[in-house]
């Protein structure tokens, strides 16, 4: 159990170790990220949230009103003809036409800005010392001009811009002729300099704007949506740096919306009044003709009062006649509407409230007129290809057809009812023998007169109602909340930016370290080596910075000397307990991992008056041992011994300049056939000879992955030191070494991790430093001991 806990703790330490070692990366990264975050906040223009909300009167929403409208559609036989009016109103609020009219009041004055330390602010109303009006633009007007700075002195000013060839001087309240436009600059009487002390009046500038781009920009800023899906309340929101200007724009937007809605309503009322006026003129003429006919009939027949003779009979037929009169009136009204539908185009509003006693037709006419108005308003800001417009057009066509069918059906029913009642009257009147024929004619004339009079009076009444409706100018959108602004800016979000900068400052170095670890296939630490192989690690050899520190010295207490003493101690447990010399085989995977460096220093660590050590340069393809004794570069050595059977080992062994108890046999000349030389048996003979003369024989061999020479005589070794260089040897090399160890190509093996940086040591970074004299840091020399 304790072993698993220890392994888990060790694994966690290995994971965190690269990050802990680079702690200063995190500190520097966090500092830089926070500085960038603070600068970004300082340079970002504060943006405020500005809102207003309005209640749309008589708008269909997803509530009970929509259900009533659906029921009306079902009763009328026109299901699927409806539309969600509140959605249409939202689209109108979003329309470019409405925004263009709203911004007209703001486009006459050019925007004025003041330069600040980190960002520029827009001056508006009381914060602006000037008002600049655009009189007219010239042909070569270019809205993408450089800012124009204004400097005033008394009643005059100077305009400066990189777009000007020279500065332009002018006076307040007088038109200035610029190369591309005429403008008028006045002082703002509402400007309060005491409240705007932070504004540097010498750094104020204005610029021309592209109206199309300006409208598109504001259209993106303004968000329109339902405040609640169960209510007909629309919320308008605008994110803008200047709170006062944003509120004015939102209020103006609502104002123009109401103006357009009132104009649409008046247009419908005017069309109804025009229709009624036309009909009143026609009915007036027809009524005059009937009255003339009645007068002529009485004159020709000398009739004063015919009805008294048939009073009893007529009382019985009064109700029937009254019904006929109502039916004929309805028939006339129906004919008027049918004629109007046949005569007018499909995009005209139908007259309403003219006395039609047909609830279905009247309801459909009201729905028809509403769809016409919705379609016309959408066409003002869109085209006929708009899917909503197409849908409304189809609904209008179907509804118009349905209205015509409903009126024609009603007319047929009126005719049937009229004929039935008229038949009853005719039958009754036939039975009245005493009533002269003139009575029938006279009553027909009177009936026509009453029909025309009733219709005339009805039209006069409806005309007054239409006039009253037109005079009513109540707003369609009732303002619930006047435009208001947030107290604090909604952008930039300081805490989010700083928190994001902090996270970025932590993640960036962590990601870099992680990628370095993930992409690095080199062996770096002892723990990595232990994970990849079960072969023991005998020692870690620290890096050295000076050439003079490459070899350990007598009585040396440096970290490197301590590491080789630990290597010697661990190596004793691997070597056999014998009186003869012990052979230590030093090898590696590839060139450059430090075999020769380890061999020489191991020999110096082992050498003492009681222990004689011999180093044999067994890499005869690429000799490296001579670099520690440059004067012996051309000395005869192992090659000559293997090649010349007459040579004795004692002839080729040289004393070391570093330690009198350490001797060298160099590699000698480079032969053309190294493999054949190692296979001739002379190498084994050499080992047998020197084992009687030395306590330790160290073989500096060739790398195993590059050549097979070393494997030929690896069997002579009592122990094998396999050198791995930190941050140089690849992990695949360990797999190669494991294969050789498992297949017993090399014997009694232990790893030595060479060139380990102080921060990568496996034992708390304190290896070899316990017994040294404390070295003072630079800041400690100033302190008194």
Which tens digit of pLDDT belongs to each residue from 659-715?
889 999 999 999 988 999 999 999 999 999 999 999 999 999 999 998 888 999 999
| Cα distance between residue 438 and residue 427, in whole Å | 17
Q: Output DSSP code: residue 98.
A: H
Task: Tell me how crowded residue 38 is: count the other CB atoms within 10 A of its CB.
Answer: 14
What pLDDT is recorded for position 452? 81
- Residue 185 Cα distances to 110, 114, 124, 399, angstroms: 10, 16, 14, 57
Residues 6+ apart with CB under 8 A from 254: 52, 54, 236, 477, 479
The tokens describing 94, both together, are 């979003």
The tokens describing 567, both together, are 């290597």
Nearest to 330 by CA among 441, 458, 446: 458
| Cα distance between residue 448 and residue 325, in whole Å | 9
Considering just the CA atoms, what is the radius of gyration of the chain in Å? 54
**Contact assessment for residue 45 and residue 242, using Cβ atoms and an 8 Å cutoff:** no
**Contact assessment for residue 389 and residue 379, using Cβ atoms and an 8 Å cutoff:** yes
Alpha helix locations (H) across 177-302? Answer: 211-221, 243-301
Task: Tell me how crowded residue 552 is: count the other CB atoms within 10 A of its CB.
Answer: 23
Q: Judging by DSSP bridges, how do beta strands 156-160 and 121-123 pair with one another?
A: unpaired
User: pLDDT band at 302, cuts 50/70/90?
Assistant: low
Angle at alpha carbon of residue 664, lines to 661 and 666, rounded to 5°: 175
**Contact assessment for residue 611 and residue 661, using Cβ atoms and an 8 Å cutoff:** yes
What pLDDT is recorded for position 350? 78
The tokens describing 683, both together, are 């190498």
Highest mean pLDDT among 391-405, 425-439, 495-509: 495-509
Task: Tell me how crowded residue 666 is: count the other CB atoms within 10 A of its CB.
Answer: 27
Which tens digit of pLDDT belongs to each residue from 720-738?
999 999 989 999 999 999 9
Ramachandran class of 765: left when φ > 0, alpha when ψ lies in -120 to 50, beta otherwise: left
Q: Is the pLDDT of residue 8 over 60?
A: no
* Range 14-41 average pLDDT: 88
* Range 170-179 average pLDDT: 88
Q: Is the pLDDT of residue 630 over 70?
A: yes
First to last CA, the chain: 49
Cis status of the peptide bond prior to 82, with omega within 30 of 0? no
* H/E run at residue 14: helix 2-21
Cα atoms found within 13 Å of the Cα of residue 474, Cβ hemisphere only: 9
Burial class (CB in 10 A: 0-12, 13-18, 19+), 474: exposed
- Residue 768 Cα distances to 14, 558, 568, angstroms: 20, 7, 14
Which tens digit of pLDDT belongs to each residue from 45-103?
999 999 999 998 864 433 333 343 333 333 333 333 334 478 888 888 888 888 888 88
Nearest to 642 by CA among 609, 610, 606, 667: 667
**Contact assessment for residue 366 and residue 349, using Cβ atoms and an 8 Å cutoff:** no
* Least confident segment among 76-85, 294-303, 750-759: 76-85
What pLDDT is recorded for position 724? 96
Alpha helix locations (H) across 382-493? Answer: 387-430, 437-471
> Residue 194 phi/psi, 5° resolution?
-65, -35
Q: Is the pLDDT of residue 656 over 80?
A: yes
Question: In what side-by-side order are the strands of the sheet with 175-177?
Answer: 130-137, 181-187, 175-177
Nearest to 662 by CA among 627, 626, 616, 630: 616
* Range 213-221 average pLDDT: 87
Domains and CATH numbers, the chain: 2-44+492-519 (no CATH), 49-257 (no CATH), 526-764 (3.40.50.300)
Residues 6+ apart with CB under 8 A from 177: none
């Amino acid at each position: 159990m304790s072993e698993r806990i220890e392994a888990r703790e060790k694994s966690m330490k290995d994971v965190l170790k690269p990050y802990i070692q680079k702690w200063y990366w995190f500190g520097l990264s966090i500092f830089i990220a926070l500085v960038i975050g603070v600068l970004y906040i300082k340079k970002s223009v504060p943006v405020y949230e500005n809102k207003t909300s309005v209640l749309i009167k008589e708008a269909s929403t997803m509530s009970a009103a929509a259900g009533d409208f659906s029921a009306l559609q079902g009763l009328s036989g026109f299901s699927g003809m409806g539309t969600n009016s509140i959605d249409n109103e939202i689209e109108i609020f979003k329309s470019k036409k409405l925004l263009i009219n709203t911004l007209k009041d703001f486009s006459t004055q050019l925007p004025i800005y003041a330069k600040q330390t980190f960002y520029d602010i827009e001056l508006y109303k009381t914060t602006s010392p000037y008002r600049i009006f655009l009189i007219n633009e010239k042909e070569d007007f270019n809205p993408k001009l450089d800012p124009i700075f204004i400097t005033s002195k008394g009643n005059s000013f100077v305009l400066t811009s990189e777009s000007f060839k020279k500065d332009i001087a002018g006076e307040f309240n007088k038109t200035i002729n610029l190369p591309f436009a005429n403008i008028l600059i006045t002082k703002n009487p509402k400007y309060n300099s005491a409240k705007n002390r932070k504004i540097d009046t010498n750094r104020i500038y204005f610029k021309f704007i592209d109206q199309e781009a300006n409208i598109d920009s504001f259209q993106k800023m303004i968000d329109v949506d339902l405040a609640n899906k169960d209510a007909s309340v629309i919320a308008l929101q605008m994110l803008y740096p200047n709170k006062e200007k944003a509120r004015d724009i939102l209020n103006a937007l609502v104002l123009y919306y109401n103006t357009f809605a009132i104009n649409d309503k008046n247009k419908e009322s005017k069309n109804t009044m025009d229709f009624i006026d036309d009909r009143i003129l026609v009915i007036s003429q027809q009524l005059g003709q009937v009255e003339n006919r009645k007068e002529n009939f009485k004159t020709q027949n000398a009739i004063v009062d015919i009805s008294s003779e048939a009073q009893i009979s007529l009382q019985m037929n009064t109700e029937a006649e009254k019904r006929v009169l109502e039916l004929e009136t309805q028939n006339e009204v129906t004919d008027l509407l049918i004629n109007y539908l046949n005569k007018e185009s499909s995009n005209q509003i139908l007259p309403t409230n003219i006395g039609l006693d047909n609830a279905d037709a009247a309801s459909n006419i009201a729905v028809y007129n509403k769809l016409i108005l919705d379609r016309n308003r959408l066409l003002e800001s869109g085209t006929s290809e708009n899917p909503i417009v197409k849908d409304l057009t189809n609904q209008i066509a179907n509804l118009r057809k349905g209205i015509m069918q409903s009126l024609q059906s009603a007319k047929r029913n009126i005719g049937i009812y009229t004929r039935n009642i008229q038949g009853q009257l005719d039958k009754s009147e036939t039975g009245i023998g005493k009533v002269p024929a003139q009575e029938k004619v006279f009553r027909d004339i009177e009936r026509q007169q009453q029909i025309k009079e009733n219709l005339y009076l009805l039209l006069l009444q409806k005309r007054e109602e239409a006039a009253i409706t037109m005079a009513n100018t109540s707003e369609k959108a009732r303002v619930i909340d006047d435009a208001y602004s947030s107290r604090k800016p909604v952008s930039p979000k300081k805490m989010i930016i700083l928190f994001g900068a902090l996270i970025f400052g932590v993640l960036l170095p962590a990601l870099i370290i992680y990628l370095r670890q993930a992409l690095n296939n080199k062996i770096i630490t002892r723990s990595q080596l232990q994970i990849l192989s079960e072969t023991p690690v005998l020692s870690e050899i620290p890096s050295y910075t000076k050439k003079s520190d490459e070899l350990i010295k007598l009585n040396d207490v440096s970290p490197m000397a301590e590491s080789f003493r630990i290597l010697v101690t661990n190596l004793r447990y691997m070597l056999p307990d014998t009186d003869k010399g012990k052979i230590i085989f030093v090898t590696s995977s590839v060139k450059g991992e430090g075999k020769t460096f380890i061999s020489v220093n191991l020999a110096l660590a082992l050498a003492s008056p009681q222990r004689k050590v011999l180093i044999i340069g067994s890499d005869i393809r690429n000799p490296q041992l001579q670099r520690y004794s440059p004067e012996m570069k051309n000395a005869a050595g192992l090659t000559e011994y293997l090649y010349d059977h007459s040579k004795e080992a004692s002839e080729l062994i040289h004393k070391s300049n570093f330690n009198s108890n350490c001797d060298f046999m160099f590699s000698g000349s480079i032969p053309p056939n190294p493999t054949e030389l190692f296979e001739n048996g002379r190498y084994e003979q050499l080992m047998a000879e020197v084992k009687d003369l030395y306590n330790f024989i160290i073989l500096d061999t060739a790398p195993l992955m590059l050549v097979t020479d070393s494997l030929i005589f690896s069997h002579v070794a009592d122990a094998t030191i396999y050198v791995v260089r930190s941050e140089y040897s690849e992990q695949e090399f360990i797999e190669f070494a494991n294969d050789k160890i498992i297949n017993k190509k090399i014997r009694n093996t232990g790893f030595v991790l060479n060139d380990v940086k102080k921060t990568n040591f496996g034992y708390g970074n304190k290896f070899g430093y316990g017994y040294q004299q404390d070295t003072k840091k630079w800041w400690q020399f100033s302190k008194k001991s």
